[in-house]
Structure 1
Amino acid sequence: MARVFVYGTLKKGQPNYYRMIESANGKAEFLTSACTTQKYPLVIAGEHSLPFLLNIPGQGRRIRGEIYKVDDKMLKYLDDFEMVPDMYQRTLVKLEVEEWVGETEGEERLKAGSITEAFVYSATMYEPDWPSLPCYESYDAYGDHGLQYEAKETGLV
């Protein structure tokens, strides 16, 4: 089992959340909400107004999202969905737990304020002007940013 931190359309209430709970894709168990310990640019960009976390530590904001425990099948599904390595890369990131979550099978307690690690999907390629776009601490496809998310059949966050 691996931990994955989602910050975009895979979060609860977002357009691709159904992919996280579809058992045919594998198993994903919500653990807690969390925030990156470092700042990163989280921008909305591209022709489909997708959320992109740029792997530029120290710039932008601390990013809020959700940590899931996923099995190997779901991790493979997410890698395919996120088009690793062409569009996104999967790397480890340090996270600060925002809410207490009790024990799950074989899992230590994640208490508010504790630090843990999880995989995150960050953009592998992006336009030179993207780091200067507005940065968000939390993505919401239905937010007041005025950028309409457009889903495609192939994997896009």
Structure 2
Amino acid sequence: MSVAGTEGDGGTLRLIYTYGTLKKGFPNHPLLEDLIGTKDAVFMGSCETRERYPLVCGLYGVPYLIHLPGSGHHIKGELYGVTRRGLTQLDELEGVRMRHYERRPIRVAMEGSAEEAEAEAYFAHRSYGEGLWKKRGEAGMKEYGSENALDYVKSEQRTKDKSLVEELFEFVGSVPAGVGD
């Protein structure tokens, strides 16, 4: 299966690398299943990051890939081709507008082949990502697995007094101006 120049019913698909709760069998994968059902996503295969990155769990067991290339591990994940409409739904889940995650380029190697792909991944927002890595003792994992998912708390079951982003800034020890805007 070629990952370059992927076409879907709605035109060119954006390649999205998933490493946490969006993977098959994890709490947020039903969104991708729905997108696959409406032809707004297609599973491309298992893969691993070409560069090493930190992967840690933050508050509520939420996994975060941190944009510090060269630190951490080669992270195992999954690659999906997603339409523009599907990407909008993923951005909403990942809280891109509220600066929870940000989509950034990433290079992945497909499992079982020499094929590589340029994709995008949801990284911890740059405003707190490095602080989270330091708070976690600069120790990360190679893969978000089922044992990690046991600690995951769905958004509707979390505290309502603050946004997760506000809680993250408090957790890492700094709250920049404009948080919660």
**TM-score (normalised: structure 1):** 0.80
Q: Which has the larger radius of gyration?
A: 2
What does residue range 3-152 of structure 1 map to in structure 2 within 5 Å? 3-23=15-35, 27-46=40-59, 48-85=60-97, 86-99=99-112, 112-124=113-125, 125-126=128-129, 128=131, 130-131=133-134, 132-140=137-145, 142-143=146-147, 148-152=151-155
Report if the CA contact (8 A) 2:20-2:26 is conserved: yes
C-alpha distance in structure 1 between counterparts of 2:119 and 2:39, whole Å = 18
Deviations 1:24-70 (Å, cap 9, x if unpaired)? 88611100111001000000112x11100000000000011000011
Could you tell me how far 1:134 is from its partner in structure 2? 3.0
C-alpha distance in structure 1 between counterparts of 2:130 and 2:50, whole Å = 25
Q: CA RMSD in A?
A: 2.3
Match of 1:43, SS state, is strand
Runs (5+) with no aligned partner, structure 1:
100-111
Structure 1 residue ranges, 4+ long, deviating more than 3 angstroms after superposition: 23-26
**TM-score (normalised: structure 2):** 0.70
The structure where helix makes up a greater share of residues is: 2
Report if the CA contact (8 A) 1:42-1:53 is conserved: yes
Report if the CA contact (8 A) 2:57-2:64 is conserved: yes
Runs (5+) with no aligned partner, structure 2:
1-12, 159-163, 165-181
How many residues align? The count is 140
Deviates more, 1:127-136 or 1:68-77: 127-136
C-alpha distance in structure 2 between counterparts of 1:37 and 1:138, whole Å = 14
C-alpha distance in structure 2 between counterparts of 1:55 and 1:129, whole Å = 11
The structure where strand makes up a greater share of residues is: 1
C-alpha distance in structure 1 between counterparts of 2:103 and 2:81, whole Å = 15
Higher relative contact order (CA 8 A, sep 6+): 1
Identical amino acids, percent of aligned pairs: 33
CA 1:127 to 1:147, structure 2 compared with 1: closer, same or farther past 3 Å?
A: farther
Deviates more, 1:18-27 or 1:79-88: 18-27
